[in-house]
Chains A and B, each alone.
Chain A
Amino acid sequence: MKQRIFVNLFILAAVTALLTSLFISYLMYESNYALMKEQVKKDVHYLAEAADSAGIEYLLTIADLDETDRITLVNTDGTVAFDSLADNAAMGNHLYRPEIAAAFAGGYGEAVRRSDTLETQTYYCAVLLDNGMVLRLANDNLSVWGILFSTANYILASLLIIFVLALIIAKRQTKKIIEPINSLDLDNPEHNQIYEEIHPLINRLSKQNRQINEQIAHLNSQKQEFLAITENMNEGLLILSKEGKMLSANLSARRFFGLKDNEGEGKHFLELNRSENWQSLIYNALDDKICEQHINFEGRIYRLLATPSRRGEELTGAVVLLFDETEKAEADLRRKEFSANVSHELKTPLTAISGYAELISGGLARPEDIPAFASKIYEEAARLREMVDNIIKLSRLDEEKNLPQKELLDLLPLAQTVCERLQEQAAAKGVSLSIEGQSATVYGSRQILDELIFNLADNAVKYNHQGGEAKISVAATDQGAVLTVSDSGLGIASAQQDRIFERFYRIDKSHSKTTEGSGLGLSIVKYAAFYHNATISLQSEEGHGSTFTVRFPVINN
């Protein structure tokens, strides 16, 4: 553009200068020519007057003075009597030359024509003398050109100066015109003071700027939304391109692959993990198949789901979802163990019951043994019923449905009733069971709390020495109510302390019946504590008794 404006300006100036000088030259030529004609006309009359009064000889004397004017004297018969520039003998008859003829006829004649003699465009002016001869004065236009040529140097010089000036001015003007365009503030187009012609462009520009900004803001907010959703997902989300390169991954996925923040974009999926399952998962997904795999990784079990992603018909990549299923797998394992345990535990008393019953019905039992057998059957049946009761309770707690309503309760009276219920059993075992403390309010279910205290106290009595002691205490602290059940009994080895809350876990692995119990009591305690958002802790030393502490949360409002 700059080049263009500059060239145009320069050409304009140059053409103007050239035309002007040509025109001026033409005008000068014209006026010079007219002047010349006028001069010749005047001169011929002066000469004629002079010749008439002083005689023709006079003409011969002045003919040598001037080389530019050509003086010709023509006789009445047309022959040339004298010529100042040419040899008169060689010249033909001039009678019929227009100016001569006109002079002979009317006393004066003029003509413009090419002179055969001098071979130039010549102006002739002829006057009839008194002696009947014709005097002719001629001047060629060479003299006009001569004047012009003499000024040509000046014209050329001025043209040159004009060109140089035009060059400089064109350059400067171009710069001036271009300047505002160059210094346009494209970020804020509406703030520019610029040519009116550019305003539509500027307006369009600012409109588009606004649109772009709006779109960017829109995209950003969408991205933020997407990030807010994916970053807070527990599941890992990984997006791969068609070439198998990572496009994006959320926090969980990055953690899974051990990537730092903002790292890994553009990495090939093989660089993330190269296990066989992973490879087959991704190759399948990129081959347009939905695929699922389990991967064991650093001791955890992940379920990976890969789906091909497509835009219209075209496959654009794959989306991989990662689920941490360690807990689920562990729960599955626990459930399996539980059903194995439950069947074993239920079968043991049933075997005893059916054994004794078989002896009796087959008549194999001696009559005096029958009461003892019957009481055995009764005991085992009671044990069975207790176990089934406990299983039902546990499954109800498991389901977390149809649970009793919570209410504000005082722990102390609850503990007292449990204590009274267990007194008889404690006395039979030779254990002294006591209760102490102050009233402490908790928000909970009477029935479930009763189970909790009962199971803890029952264990404290059951797993105790003859003459041992068990103590229930209730305290209200700033951190909420605290229930402590301690005994001076058998104690639990530290290696087993983690496991005693598991269902059917018995310290005595032989499932012996030396101490009755289903192995479900502490499981119920754990669930009951969990139901009340309480924490349960255990301090115990083998052979020196154990202390269970249940801390209930502070009641708000």
Chain B
Amino acid sequence: MRNRFDTQLEQLNNELITFGGLCEQAIGSIVEALLDDNKEKAREAIALEKITDNKEVEIEGLCLKLLLQQQPVAKDLRLISAALKMITDLERIGDQAEDIGEIILRPEPMRRKNALHIVDMAEATAKMVSQSIDAFVRRDLELAHQVMEADDVVDDMFAQVKIDLVDLISQNPQNGEEAINILLIAKYFERIGDHAVNIAEWVEFSITGSHRRDDFQ
């Protein structure tokens, strides 16, 4: 019975890694689509959203089954409850990658983006997502903390992007539409960064048993 439980836990672990990989792929495609104006990549990211949605449902089912049938305790319980929270964040990352993809597919060109901090922001966010999943895979507390700290950097970049865009509009009000699109994208990236931090926090919880939000109480 225990043996079966271990196999199921392993399966959960692997499913989570696969899910993480899908999200990484989605955000990777989006960054590429943004940097190289590659509409094909944007469509890929949009297509991935359906897959990530299904994956969330699948893993959720697995978690609930494990909780009900095996009544796990201690570390196993922490892993499963962390998994239940993490998949929500992963699914949101997939959604937001899709949203960015749709903005990129809009007919309005984005000629000026390469001169702006949005590029740095995209890359930094993608790295955060990768690192948060790496932290889960390797159960690496230090890497999880790095992700939490990187959030401030991404937030600063978001502020920088806003300044860039104000500048862009003041130069020529006709840039307004492009600026708004970029602002939306930047906001989505900022949200993705927050989700990566959430994942990192749940990784920390599954390792140590304490969650950062406990500290605020």
The range of chain B's interface size is 10 to 19
Query: Residues of B contacting A274 with CB < 8 Å?
Result: 17-18, 20-21, 24, 133, 137
Interface string of A262-304 (1 = CB under 8 A from B): 0000001011001110010000000000000000000000000
Which A residues are CB-close (under 8 A) to B14?
268, 270
- Residue pair A271, B21 in contact (C-beta under 8 Å): no
Q: List residues 347-406 of chain A with CB under 8 A from any CB of chain B.
A: none
Min Cβ gap B86→A in Å is: 15
Is there an interface contact between A270 and B10, defined as CB atoms closer than 8 Å? no
Q: How far is the CB of B32 from chain A (nearest CB, A)?
A: 12
Q: Does B38 contact A (CB under 8 A)?
A: no
Distance A276 CA – B10 CA, assembled complex (angstroms): 20
Interface flag for B138 (CB, 8 Å) = yes
Partner of A275 from the list B13, B21, B137, B138 (CB cut-off 8 Å) is: B21
CB-CB < 8 A to A270: which residues of B?
Answer: 14, 17-18, 21, 137
Interface flag for B25 (CB, 8 Å): yes
Return A101 CB to nearest CB of chain B, in Å. Answer: 94
Contact A276 B25 (CB under 8 A): yes
B18 engages A271 (CB within 8 Å): no
Cβ-defined partner of A271 (8 Å) among B17, B24, B25 = B17
Q: A274-B133, A274-B137, A276-B25 are in contact. Are A268 and B20 (CB under 8 A)?
A: no
Q: Which chain B residue lies CB-closest to A275? A: B21
In Å, the complex CA distance between A275 and B24 comes to 8
B1-32 CB mask vs A (1 if < 8 Å, else 0) is 00000000010011001101100110000000
Q: How far is the CA of A274 from the CA of B21 in the complex (A)?
A: 5
List the B residue with the shortest CB-CB distance to A268: B14
Separation of A371 and B75 alpha carbons in the complex (Å):
94
Nearest CB of B to A184, in Å:
37
Contact among B10, B21, B133, B138 with A268 in the assembled complex (CB-CB below 8 Å): B10
How far is A547 from B54 in the complex, measured between Cα atoms in Å? 66
> Chain A residues near B13 (CB, 8 Å)?
268
Whole-angstrom CA separation of A279 from B22 in the bound complex:
11
A279 to B25, CA, bound (A): 12
A279 close to B10 (CB less than 8 A):
no
A276 to B23, alpha carbons, bound, how many Å? Answer: 11
B127 CB to nearest chain A CB (Å) = 13
Q: A268-B10, A268-B13, A270-B14 in contact; A279/B137 too (CB < 8 A)?
A: no
- Find chain B residues with CB under 8 A from A268 CB: 10, 13-14, 17
Contacts of A279 in B (CB 8 A): 18, 21
Contact with B along A157-171 (1 / 0, CB 8 A): 000000000000000
CB contacts (< 8 Å) of A275 on chain B: these are 21, 25
- CB-based nearest A residue for B10: A268
A344 to B10, CA, bound (A): 59
Chain A neighbourhood of B18, CB < 8 A? 270, 274, 279
* Assembled-state Cα–Cα distance A276/B20 (Å): 11
Complex: A26 Cα to B95 Cα, angstroms: 106
What residue of chain B has the Cβ atom nearest to residue A276's Cβ? B25
* B137: A residues at CB distance < 8 A: 270-271, 274
Query: In the complex, which residue of chain A has the Cβ closest to the Cβ of B48?
Result: A276
> Within the assembled complex, what's the spacing in Å between the Cα atoms of A72 and B21?
123
Most chain B beta-carbon neighbours within 10 Å: one of A271, A274, A275, A276? A274
| Chain A residue nearest to B13 in the complex (CB) | A268
User: Which residues on A sit within 8 Å (CB–CB) of B25?
Assistant: 275-276
Known: A276-B21, A279-B21. A271 touches B133 (CB 8 A): no
- Say whether, besides A276-B21, A276-B25, A279-B18, A271 and B10 are in contact (CB < 8 Å): no
Nearest B residue to A274 by beta-carbon distance?
A: B21
Q: How far is the CB of A7 from chain B (nearest CB, A)?
A: 41
Whether B20 pairs with A271 at a CB distance below 8 angstroms is no
The residues of A that contact B10 with a CB separation of less than 8 Å are: 268
Chain A nearest Cβ from B41, distance in angstroms: 13
State the CA gap A279–B19 with chains docked (Å).
12
For B133, the chain A residues whose CB sits under 8 A away are 274
Q: Which residue of B lies closest to A271 (CB)?
A: B137
> Distance in Å from the Cβ of A302 to the closest Cβ of chain B?
17
Q: List 13 A-B contacts (CB under 8 A).
A: A268-B10, A270-B14, A270-B17, A270-B18, A270-B137, A271-B17, A271-B137, A274-B17, A274-B20, A274-B133, A275-B25, A276-B21, A279-B18
Q: A268-B13, A271-B137, A274-B24 are in contact. List 7 more A-B contacts (CB 8 A).
A: A268-B14, A268-B17, A274-B17, A274-B18, A275-B25, A276-B25, A279-B18
A residues apposed to B, CB below 8 Å = 268, 270-271, 274-276, 279
B interface, CB within 8 angstroms of A: 10, 13-14, 17-18, 20-21, 24-25, 133, 137-138
Q: Which 10 A-B pairs have the closest CB atoms?
A: A274-B21, A270-B17, A271-B137, A270-B14, A274-B17, A276-B25, A268-B14, A270-B18, A274-B20, A271-B17
